[in-house]
Amino acid sequence: MLFVFSYKRNIFDSHYSVMLFRHNIKAIFRFILTKITGFPMSKILFLSSLFAAFVFFSCPINAQNTDLKNQPIGFQNEKITGIAPIVIAPQDIQKLLEEDKKDPIRKRFAVPQTLNLDLNKSAKIFDNINGRRVYILRIQSDKADALAFTLENLNIGTDENIFVYAADGKHGYATVDKGTQKKILTDFVKSDEVIIEFNQPQSAPLKNPFTITKLWYAYGGLSTTDFNGSAACEINMACATDFQNQKRGVVRIFAVMTNGAYWGCGSLVVNTKNDGTPYILTAFHISDGLTPDYTQWKFLFNYEFPTCANSTTEPIGTVIQGCTYRAGFRDDDFTLLELSAHVPSSVNAYFNGWSRDTSFLSASTTIIHHPWGDVRKIARSTHPEYIVKNYIIFANLVTTPPYSHLQCSVDKGTLEPGSSGAPLFDANGRIVAQLHGADADPANPCTVTFAIGGRFAKSWEGNGTSATRLKDWLDPLQTNVLTLDGVNNTKFIVSGHVNFWINAPMSNVKVFIGTDSTFTDSNGYFSFATVQANTPLNVSVEKPDTYDNGVDATDVLLLRRHVLGISTFNNSVYKLIAADVDASDTVDATDLLILRRFILGINKTLPVLSPWRFVLQSLTTGTNNYPAGVSFNNGYIFSANVTNLDIQGVKVGDIDGSAGY
């Protein structure tokens, strides 16, 4: 959460003051010059205009500062203070707390209320504030600890922003990450009266940027059950000197159900392909019996204090929203999810390893978790873990079978609601279970003596299907390994050049690797800094153009001589590619006929999807034969830095290389 100093000022008054200042300076300057020089006023005007220009360009004009477009304008303008709020009936908190007593192993902290508010119809719209149009919607729901909102049908441009912040301006603001999703859940703002702001350039058309479909009402002391809300006996992760790799894979889970929101934990897990697939292992009971909306789940990385001591400054972390359910089974209390996006390299994430070796029971256990949704904590057992050989009846009356769970003591740190799904690591730093429960007493959170987790070794086979076991997902190569060590979220640098085949650099050409893209510079150079390791990625190049660029009667003549065998293209792969105007992988009389009809204006286009073809230079080196298909976007796997991904561009039909590029 970002915090800013909230201030108010009338930007129109300050603008007027600046202009009045400039007017007075010019008048005084002209008067002084007439007295000193004796020049008539007409001659003075030219000199004073130069001075005025100097004043105009040297004085800062704060009122016209557009650097503020990436901050909520409501903090900067007092007009919003008079906006009447839309009042939403508050929740019956006592009733909610009574309902929650029936679910002792989970902690619901917020419930949804259906809304249907189009922003352009419900908001107050202000024009030309710092050159931007601002939509302000004020919503109040009494006695809420915090409020959040589900926004749907998002229609947001690149220079348009969404902010959510407390109406009193005392609690900072949340910038809503627009991403590419059409439905998002905002962060909670700790207030019962909140402003939703959308701003856009003044020149942009009026529109409905989104619809507010749900208000999320937090209750029961959210302010004491997330940031700095866990027990005093909890140990910050930064206090540990070991497990520094493993912690980078542990995430806080904001689990969204149709009936409310819950806290949980989970961990990235590596698979035998080591392809960066973002699988999250967590506990089945977090959503057992509920209806999850997985598109709205949020996974928070690196939510941790930088030092061992507690702090009043909340760490920010990185959020990935949305996931897909892959597998789960109640008996072993496991769920495997796949995140909606690869983990960015900037997160410095770690894919944790695992062990399903039934012959080994660790002499110690480490649990990394987020109790009550708080910053990352660590709990430890310095005693051997053991397999629970009996049925276990949990507080929600779910019974799990013998040999499905591990148990360990807890003699350092503690565990609380919200820790569910946290990984249990053995002494080798591999996951052997995910946290299911503990002998926790809400009234005395520091008295936990043992923890129980669903066994990874049992979850491997689960209930015998891909939807109820781990092995189909975590061992796609079918290696049948018993253990797998964790790995860094490795990504590589890939760079190269795009050249016209006559060896001229092509600038401003769009290059794709997977879903990422960049443009070549004036030297034809491009670079990608974070290409996912060991993942098949398509490589492609895009250059819009007209079909007639560089195509003329000379090309028809050259093609005719080749077809007749008078002067062939066998010494130039690129001429062969250019001459294959029907993309049949051969150059023959059909290509000659098509090119002639195009030159004569009978056909307006050539029978290819794009006027340009691009081929890896390495595919054409040392050969004069037509390459077997000039497309090279067939799933490259990068396992090291690549700095010579050089690409040659060929204009279809331009056999003599005369096209503009």
pLDDT in tens, 472-529: 999 999 999 999 999 988 778 899 999 999 889 999 999 999 888 899 999 999 999 8
Residue (of 424, 420, 422) closest to 433 by Cα position: 424
Helix H or strand E segment including 540: strand 539-542
Amino acid occupying residue 642: V
Q: Is the pLDDT of residue 443 over 50?
A: yes
Distance, CA of 440 to CA of 262 (rounded, Å): 18
Distance, CA of 215 to CA of 186 (rounded, Å): 10
Q: What's the residue count for the chain?
A: 661
Among the listed ranges 98-112, 234-248, 257-271, which one has the minimum average pLDDT value? 98-112
Q: Is the pLDDT of residue 168 over 90?
A: no
Quick one: what percent of the chain has pLDDT higher than 70?
83
Residue (of 420, 316, 333, 412) closest to 369 by Cα position: 420
* Mean pLDDT across 531-555: 88
Q: Give the model confidence (pLDDT) of 70-89 as tens digits.
A: 567 766 666 666 788 999 99
Strands 647-651 and 377-381: unpaired
* Mean pLDDT across 421-435: 98
CB atoms inside a 10 Å sphere around CB 82? 7
Residues 509/651, Cβ–Cβ less than 8 Å: no
* Mean pLDDT across 278-288: 97
The confidence score (pLDDT) of residue 171 equals 58
- Banded pLDDT at 341 (limits 50, 70, 90): confident
The 8 Å CB, 24+ separation contacts for 595-598 are 595/551, 595/555, 595/556, 595/559, 595/653, 596/556, 598/547, 598/548, 598/551, 598/653
Q: Give the model confidence (pLDDT) of 203-248 as tens digits.
A: 898 999 999 999 999 998 755 557 888 999 999 999 999 999 999 9
Distance, CA of 595 to CA of 16 (rounded, Å): 66
The confidence score (pLDDT) of residue 182 equals 84
- Banded pLDDT at 626 (limits 50, 70, 90): low
Average pLDDT over all residues of the chain: 84
* Mean pLDDT across 598-612: 90
Does the pTM surpass 0.85? The reply is no
* Mean pLDDT across 383-411: 94
The confidence score (pLDDT) of residue 533 equals 75
Distance, CA of 449 to CA of 467 (rounded, Å): 34
The confidence score (pLDDT) of residue 68 equals 45
If you average pLDDT over each of 42-46, 153-157, 453-457, which comes out highest? 453-457
Q: Is the pLDDT of residue 354 over 90?
A: yes
Q: Is the pLDDT of residue 419 over 50?
A: yes
Distance, CA of 302 to CA of 315 (rounded, Å): 8
At 499 the three-state DSSP class reads strand
- Banded pLDDT at 591 (limits 50, 70, 90): very high
Rg (CA), the chain: 32
